[in-house]
Amino acid sequence: MAEWTNLSICPLSLALCDGGFAGNETAGDFEYPVHLFPVPILTGITVTCALLFLVGVTGNLTTILVVAKYKDMRTTTNLYLSSMAFSDLLIFLCMPLDLYRVWRYRPWNFGEQLCKLFQFVSESCTYSTILHITALSVERYFAICFPLRAKVVVTRGRVRGVIFVLWAVAFCSAGPIFILVGVEHENGTNPWETNECKATEYAIRSGLLTMMVWVSSVFFFLPVLCLTVLYSLIGRRLWRRKRDPFGPNVSSRDKNNKQTVKMLAVVVMAFVLCWLPFHVGRYLFSKSSEGNSALISQISEYCNLVSFVLFYLSAAINPILYNIMSKKYRAAACKLLWAGQSAEGCGSVPVNADRVECEWTHTSAGGLQGRDEWTLRTAEGCRPGPRWVVHR
């Protein structure tokens, strides 16, 4: 590829991997290309992203409506998933501008405010998704390893509060984007022809660009480490349990927990696989800049192009995974999309196919031979079961 391939496109923010043309040409005699990649490749990327847009918008909107409409779907787990779906919807709203920049990265004709805003939305939603996956995994860990305590601590009200905090942290972490990104042009050129939405010279000189690269790395590798530990502990708890002191009712509950954990583990794996090429490409880009290697630079560019598609794949794939792995979600989506379809026509769904939020009441009898009783109350979508009696 030509020397201008040092202009890197990367999904976390198309301006974060900022570069410039290499060589000894000056701004006056250098002819900037219209496209960063050959037209056939760009056409394939555009068609793929258009399909992902249709699937992602439809799937994530369905997830939000399913949780909002059906009361038995408003579990703490599904509250996290619906918030993640909202984040993915916002990401898809940024896709048209991203595709425009892939096809014609200069001039930028949409103003500085839109340049900053769409980069901020993309960045903050990425952070939000990572935080939601981590928080949801922590909630699952407590629900499985400390079920009685989780019944009291993990409530829908508290989960909504946690979701609010997650979004606040994501917005604050992405806030420097408003300083980092701007519309600039090369000195000695016509701004109407060379304006770019990219990292500003101030961000590069001050080290803000480097800081944001480190922040994005921490937001990926630290949660991945945390998720690895959590799912290892959850797996050991579920799959090494030889006996069940509370009888078949809890065995059924463990089976449901396993199904939920499997689904969440697949979601985590999909997230890691979709984002790993981006970090590999950025690492290669930094090495190519240090060593002035044209081959590594070219590899990093195509790695970034692949990660551009995977970025939107990660925002579209979650509803597909829910539909494949959750009978309850599949039936609810069927009833939502085909309103006239009967419940039987959408498939028979076991009441406890997934985790259902049930209410327990606690009574304590006094005396030396007293006992604690945890009684499962009948609730919509919750199967009545025997009392758990713990003698003191």
Integer Cα distance of 232 and 110 in angstroms: 47
- With b meaning 16 or more CB within 10 Å and e meaning fewer, what string describes 85-113? bbbbbbbbebbebbbebbbebbbbeeeee
CA-derived radius of gyration, the chain: 25
How does DSSP classify residue 49? H
Residues 204, 209, 211, 213, CA torsion sign: negative
Output 211 or 105, whichever has higher pLDDT.
211
The predicted model gives 231-235 an average pLDDT of: 83
CA max distance for the chain: 93
103-159 per-position pLDDT tens digit:
887 788 888 889 899 889 988 998 999 999 999 889 888 888 888 888 888 888 999
For 149-192, the pLDDT digits (tens) are 888 888 889 999 999 999 999 999 999 889 888 888 776 666 67
Q: Which residues contact 222 (CB under 8 A, 6 or more apart)?
A: none
Q: What is the pLDDT of residue 79?
A: 93
- Supply the pLDDT for residue 124: 92
* Distance of alpha carbon 261 from alpha carbon 266, whole angstroms: 8
Position 151 scores a pLDDT of: 83
Q: List pLDDT tens digits, range 254-309.
A: 666 677 777 777 888 888 888 888 777 777 766 665 556 667 767 777 777 888 89
**How high is the pLDDT of residue 127?**
92
Cβ-based neighbour number of residue 189 at 10 Å:
16
pLDDT band, residue 33 (cuts 50/70/90):
low
Residues 60, 312 contacting (CB under 8 angstroms): no
120: tokens are: 């901020």
Task: Report the run of H or E that residue 122 belongs to, with start and end.
Answer: helix 112-145
Contacts of 302 (CB under 8 A, 6+ apart): none
Give pTM, 2 decimals. Answer: 0.75
CB 295 within 8 A of CB 303: no
Residues forming beta bridges with residue 390, ordered by sequence position: 372
Query: Residue 189: phi, psi to the nearest 5?
Result: -120, 165
Domain ranges for the chain:
3-357, 358-392
Question: Which CATH topology does 3-357 take?
Answer: Rhopdopsin 7-helix transmembrane proteins (1.20.1070)
226: left (phi over 0), alpha (psi -120 to 50) or beta: alpha
Residues 55-85: tens digit of each pLDDT: 999 999 999 999 998 888 888 889 999 999 9
Q: What percent of the chain has pLDDT over 90?
A: 19
What confidence score (pLDDT) does residue 56 get?
Answer: 94
* For residue 17, pLDDT beyond 70: no
The kind and range of the H/E element at 99 are: helix 95-103
Average pLDDT, the chain: 74
Q: Which token pair is 114?
A: 């839109």
234-250 pLDDT tens trace: 878 877 665 555 555 55
Give me 273's structure tokens: 């696989």
Q: Which pLDDT value is given to residue 345?
A: 58
Mean predicted confidence (pLDDT) in 341-367: 47
What per-residue confidence (pLDDT) applies to 55? 94
Does pLDDT of 349 surpass 70? no
Closest CA relative to residue 142, chosen from 129, 132, 130, 151: 151
In angstroms, the CA 176 to CA 214 distance is: 13
- pLDDT of 32 reads 53
What's the CA gap between 390 and 209, in Å, rounded? 58
The mean pLDDT value for 197-203 works out to: 82
Comparing 201-205, 275-279, 381-385, which segment has the lowest mean pLDDT?
A: 381-385
Mean pLDDT for the stretch of residues 320-334: 82
Query: Bigger pLDDT: 387 or 254?
Result: 254
